[in-house]
Amino acid sequence: MSKLVIVESPTKEKTISRFLQGDYIVKSSYGHVRDLPVNGLGVKIEKNFEPFYVTLPKAKKILPSLKKISAEAEKIYLATDYDREGEAIAWHLIELLKPDKEKVKRITFHEITEKAILEALENPRSIDLNLVNAQQARRILDRLVGYKISPLLWRKVKSGLSAGRVQSVALRLICDREEEIDKFRPEEYWTIAAELRKIETEENFLAELIEYENEKLEKLSIRDQKETEKIVHSLEGLTYAVKKIVFKEKKKAPAPPFTTATLQQESARKIFFSSNKTMFLAQQLYEGVELGEEGMVGLITYHRTDSFQVAESARNEARKYISEKYGTNFLPSKPRIYKTKVKGAQEAHEAIRPTSLYRQPEEIKKYLTPEQVKLYTLIWQRFLASQMAEAIFDTLAIDITAGNIGLFRANGQKIKFPGFLSAYGGDEEKEKPLPQLKEGENLRLLKLIPEQHFTEPPARYNEASLIKTLEKYGIGRPSTYAPTISTITERKYVELKERKFYSTELGKTINELIKKHFPTIVDINFTAEMEKELDEIAKGKITWTKVLDNFYIPFSQTLSLAEKEMVRLRPIPQPTEEKCEKCGRMMVIRTGSRGSFLACSGFPKCRNTMPLRPCLYGRSSDEERQVADEATKPPNQSNK
């Protein structure tokens, strides 16, 4: 009799089929097979939050053949992804296939390699209902928030809006930062540098004034041009000499291998990929890529993780590779083991790494797309570096006197031993050369360089810094960052300009309404605590219905109050690319008693209006509204 292995994707099916032949049959479920209904809450609140699941249309086409094969199979191995969502998919499959439960086993693996698959088959287990319930609680929690608050926003603001547990916090972070920037008032300050020359060799270098008339200079010590000019004038014509040279050896350890969050951050920073693109490409690399004669190969370990753990076999392979390619002096005395500092990290997972360092990017790039090469190279280099020796720098700080009234300092560094920088480094580790000087040596002043500065407002969030902040506070999980950012962008709550987030007027309005009427939903601490409770469910320390009950009772009271108190807002003007014929400003779409029309954004200074032309926007305002209403029709509020 055959043994059936069920995975989620056809790519995984193809990759794993290479390793399991003979009696094994590998089949894909093509993702989720059941979910809460699209139309309707799908949760029986009064029956202890009992979910009402429906079979997805795509699954209806696949299930008959899966049922037939599973009925004939000697054993069934559920090999869905190694996380709570994967555990839930495995459980849903069993609920629908209804096989003999004695022959059903769950297997998990961090990487899709022959060794990992065979080891998983030797160590099967039962479905972990605690993990299933944690995922189920998250899904129901998000459904309660979304399907209860969103219709309220439709009635009070406009159709098509949404509110979510994690997305509302992300939006708040962006809006709060926008508010900080709006309130920020820059302060003027000045710095003074000296361009100096070593007389013997005519080498030039810069030093910065750090002390004047025996007072240390802080960032805002010199406040205006008049004061700067006075100091500069007093420093001219003085004798400049080396007072003190301090040599130090600085060591820098490599960063750990990637987690989902750090991969998304570094991918945005180094290769300018969005979080969505990063996860899409990582999925392909994990599930398998055709490598010529080698066939389908999983190139990286599972890409949804918040752990820095690395398998001992992978660490040993890394040490062997480093020794062969770089030499034993590039090896630390013992393998590097990193501890995860992320709140609620699932330590059973592994960090993201290549399945083998011997699959070097240069050698396999002909089989990959250019984008796959960039991401694989990033993951490969980061893991390699994480197991290498520290980089060692020779640093020096040179203090230079200007007569008896000023003290300047020049800082330099030189790489003594590159260590991990040979594989993976950044601009911050570059050398900063200084001439060889000795204490008491006189220097020639070439010029003094006063420079005006202004304090900067807090930086706007980009994808990397937003994900870093969400992770820092324990909001959401690795799999939620990319869809959260996509949602707030697609809903036009925020705009991405030059890779930075700007909150729109619509986003600000939604944020203010939710902050006012649902303060706990956008409270960072509350959302982080909810994640902790979901973790407690996964560990079997608390029941999932208890968590939902504790949330829903106060939430329903808040919802009832918001229904009464939230004021219906006038429709928010929507931006267009049409220019006003009278003043040149951009036109916006406004809605009045007779429908939608184009109006100048400069109102009330410019009162120009125009009909909303179907040829410009694809549909007339009535057609547009009808389509929008159909697409965002409020769900049936019954608890079926």
- Report the C-alpha gap between 551 and 510 in whole angstroms: 22
Concerning whether 189 is annotated as a catalytic residue, the answer is no
> What are the helix (H) ranges across 539-613?
544-565
pTM of the model: 0.81
pLDDT of 159 reads 78
pLDDT of 522 reads 87
447-461 burial string, b = 16+ CB within 10 Å, else e?
ebeeeeeeeeeeebb
Chain position carrying tokens 């989902």:
260
Which two three-digit tokens encode residue 222? 């010199």
What are the C-alpha distances in Å from 100 to residues 95, 105, 341?
11, 11, 42
Strand partners, 242: 400
pLDDT-based confidence at 592, cuts 50/70/90? low
What are the C-alpha distances in Å from 349 to residues 83, 305, 306?
8, 6, 7
pLDDT of 143 reads 92
> What are the helix (H) ranges across 344-499?
361-364, 370-386, 463-472, 481-490
In the chain, % helix, strand, coil (3-state, to 5) comes to 45, 20, 35
> Which percentage of the chain shows pLDDT scores above 70?
93
User: Reduced to 3 states, what is the DSSP secondary structure of residue 109?
Assistant: coil
pLDDT-based confidence at 185, cuts 50/70/90? very high
For the segment 516-543, the average pLDDT, to the nearest whole number, is 92
Nearest to 78 by CA among 116, 39, 43, 109: 109
pLDDT of 638 reads 35
352 DSSP 8-state letter:
B
For the segment 259-287, the average pLDDT, to the nearest whole number, is 94
- Report the C-alpha gap between 530 and 369 in whole angstroms: 40
Q: Is the pLDDT of residue 345 over 80?
A: no
> Which percentage of the chain shows pLDDT scores above 90?
75
Strand partners, 296: 290
pLDDT of 342 reads 57
Contacts of 349 (CB under 8 A, 6+ apart): 82, 83, 110, 302, 305, 306, 307, 309
For the segment 564-568, the average pLDDT, to the nearest whole number, is 88
**More confident site: 625 or 63:** 63
- Which among 189, 302, 424, 461 is annotated as catalytic? 302
pLDDT of 420 reads 95
pLDDT of 629 reads 36
For the segment 254-279, the average pLDDT, to the nearest whole number, is 94
DSSP string, 44-67: EGGGTTEE--EE-HHHHHHHHHHH
User: What is the sign, positive or negative, of the torsion defined by CA atoms of 26, 31, 37, 38?
Assistant: negative
User: What is the sign, positive or negative, of the torsion defined by CA atoms of 111, 112, 118, 124?
Assistant: positive
pLDDT of 106 reads 97
Contacts of 402 (CB under 8 A, 6+ apart): 194, 209, 235, 238, 239, 240, 408, 445
Chain position carrying tokens 């050369």:
433
DSSP string, 180-236: HHHH----EEEEEEEEEEETTTTEEEEEEEEEETTEE--TTSS-SHHHHHHHHHHHT
- CA 443 and chain centroid, separation: 50
Computed over every residue of the chain, the mean pLDDT equals 90
Nearest to 126 by CA among 98, 99, 107: 107
pLDDT-based confidence at 343, cuts 50/70/90? low
